[in-house]
Amino acid sequence: MLEPSPVISCVAFDCSNSSIRAVLGRCEDERIHMEVIHEVPNQPIDVGGLYYWDILYIFNEMQKGLTKAYHVCGDINSAGICTWGVDFGLLGATNLLLANPMSYRNTIGLEILETLSSEELRQNFYQTGIQNDRINSLYQLLAIRKLFPELFSLAKDVLMIPDLLLNMFTGIKRTEPTIASTTQIMNVQNRSFSEEVMSRYGLDARMFPGVAYHGHVLGYIKQGLAETLKINELPFVCVASHDTASAVAAVPASARDLLFVSSGTWSLIGTELAAPIIDDNVYKLGFTNELGAYGTVTLLKNSTGLHIIQSVRRELAREGRQYSWDEIVDIAQTHKGPTPLIDPNDPAFFNPPSMIAAIKDYCGQTGQETDLKLPAMIMAIYQSLAYSYRLAFSDIERITGKTYDTVHIIGGGLRNRFLNQLVADITGKTVLAGPAEATSMGNLAIQCGYHRQTLGLEYVRDLVRNSFAVEKFVPNKHEAAEDRLPLFIQLAKMNK
């Protein structure tokens, strides 16, 4: 009789645009049992018209989470860090952080993007596989050099957010493919920083750290920090540190031909490939080739997700109207009659002072109702989100030449069962929802693979399927979905 495997205890740090979370995972009998042991809100801070991340606050809260995990189960076997992409911190010659990292919600990258010719933008895509976007690290970095030369002149190292946090914990300067690919400075075909891009923009290759690979130890927590926190000197494992990549690794699919939506503040809509697709079709349709776990590629569209409804809910709360998410859905379902539509990816909704006013203005400019009551507005947001998924799915099928009957929805947004059913109805695809904690799950599963000496995506997904059940949403016939589709297509074309 085989001896049972020892229990492996790992901590996954899942730092997103809206929260900082420490998740304790125990791997036992080829299942992972997860527990969120520390969670606090996170948001960029407006200082003088620029948005920054309070990285010291984030680091401090991560330390609290690590301490709590240690008190729950004793020694921790390892930790791994996942965060959002594109943002970074700058270190000086003495390894000191020069300033709080800027947030991609700033518009400074757009100032650079608008100066580049169509041919130059095309070359940047073809040399990296990454779609041009004002939030990309490349354009943020060039904007800092232009607008804040005193800061850029002192910078010796560019560390992506998870790499910066890793450095704070361990002193190590390393990156890994998934987070590095969001910079638009890495060539996703050879998984190294692009000499062509760096040469074109006069960037010093020494500013970017070496690339590590998944399932190996990056470094150990600093001895002094471990003593201060009263914990063991645990290793930090190289996970897919871009939260989207970890979430996709946790898609509980048995086949490689999968369609997914990683649902949160952003909706990452895509499929998984063995190699990038870099051609005119992908470029024109606005898709990007980000690197995934264990050498995979995620062909995806970075689309606005729950950001719009989150902003509306916060705005209502400031007015004294506090609604739970269940109440928001209940309000939407009271709406009767035609529903206005918006393009969630229109720049008007990127970061307006008032999201409610932005929606009303947009509807007026597109010849729709402007005196929107709250139920109509919320329903418009949810339906428009589902339509944006439908168009993206159609584009993916055109690019890959494949059809997909099922879509996996992962991430925190899947808790909205109303939206899941709406997606099924409007797209005509069966929705499999789960796991909600996909980023943490992918992070933990890669760590477990390191400890079990079983590296690879197949092992990760076996763990996920053993650990979580999915909920199925079958599409219902939705007459209005077809009637309103031409309007949404027209709105989306206006934003090309």
Distance of alpha carbon 192 from alpha carbon 176, whole angstroms: 10
Percent of the chain with pLDDT over 90: 88
Given a contact cutoff of 8 angstroms between Cβ atoms, the answer to whether 199 and 213 are in contact is: no
Q: Which CATH superfamily is domain 8-237 in?
A: ATPase, nucleotide binding domain (3.30.420.40)
| CATH number for the domain formed by residue range(s) 251-434+456-496 | 3.30.420.40
Per-residue model confidence (pLDDT) at position 275: 95
Average pLDDT, the chain: 94
Given a contact cutoff of 8 angstroms between Cβ atoms, the answer to whether 354 and 319 are in contact is: no
Distance of CA 16 to the CA centre of its chain: 8
DSSP label at 174?
E
Assess whether the region 8-237 and the region 251-434+456-496 belong to the same CATH fold: yes
Q: Which residues are the active-site residues?
A: 243
Helix (H, G, I), strand (E, B) or coil at 72: helix
Beta strands at 471-473 and 430-433: parallel, antiparallel or unpaired: antiparallel
Given a contact cutoff of 8 angstroms between Cβ atoms, the answer to whether 194 and 200 are in contact is: no
Split at pLDDT 50, 70, 90, the class of 455 is confident
The per-residue pLDDT for range 265-284, each reduced to its tens digit, is 889 999 999 999 999 999 99
Give residue 400's identity as a one-letter amino acid code: T
The per-residue pLDDT for range 218-239, each reduced to its tens digit, is 999 999 999 999 999 999 999 9
Model confidence pTM above 0.85:
yes
Distance of alpha carbon 199 from alpha carbon 193, whole angstroms: 11
CB atoms closer than 10 angstroms to residue 168: 20
Q: Name the residue with higher pLDDT: 217 or 485.
A: 217
Per-residue model confidence (pLDDT) at position 251: 95
Split at pLDDT 50, 70, 90, the class of 39 is very high
Reading the block at residue 39, the tokens are 């969670």
Q: In what order do the strands lie in the sheet with 235-237?
A: 31-41, 19-28, 8-15, 78-83, 235-237, 217-220
pLDDT at 81 over 50: yes
The per-residue pLDDT for range 44-58, each reduced to its tens digit, is 999 999 999 999 999
The per-residue pLDDT for range 385-440, each reduced to its tens digit, is 999 999 999 999 999 999 999 999 998 888 999 999 999 999 999 999 999 899 99
- Ordered by start, the domain boundaries in the chain are 8-237, 251-434+456-496
The structure tokens 């709250």 sit at: 374
Q: How far apart are the first and last CA of the chain?
A: 63
Alpha helices in 148-229 (DSSP H): 149-154, 161-170, 177-181, 195-200, 223-229
Report the DSSP beta bridge partners of residue 234.
none
pLDDT at 5 over 70: no
pLDDT at 301 over 90: yes
The per-residue pLDDT for range 184-216, each reduced to its tens digit, is 999 999 999 999 999 999 999 999 999 999 999
Report the DSSP beta bridge partners of residue 298.
272, 290
Per-residue model confidence (pLDDT) at position 477: 76
My answer on whether omega of the bond before 475 falls inside 30° of 0, hence cis, is: no
Reading the block at residue 40, the tokens are 């606090």
CB atoms closer than 10 angstroms to residue 56: 11
Burial class (CB in 10 A: 0-12, 13-18, 19+), 54: middle
What percent of the residues of the chain are helix, what percent strand, and what percent coil, each to the nearest 5? 45, 20, 35
pLDDT at 2 over 50: no
Cβ partners under 8 Å of residue 43, min gap 6? 17, 18
What average pLDDT does this structure show over 151-178?
98
Split at pLDDT 50, 70, 90, the class of 370 is confident
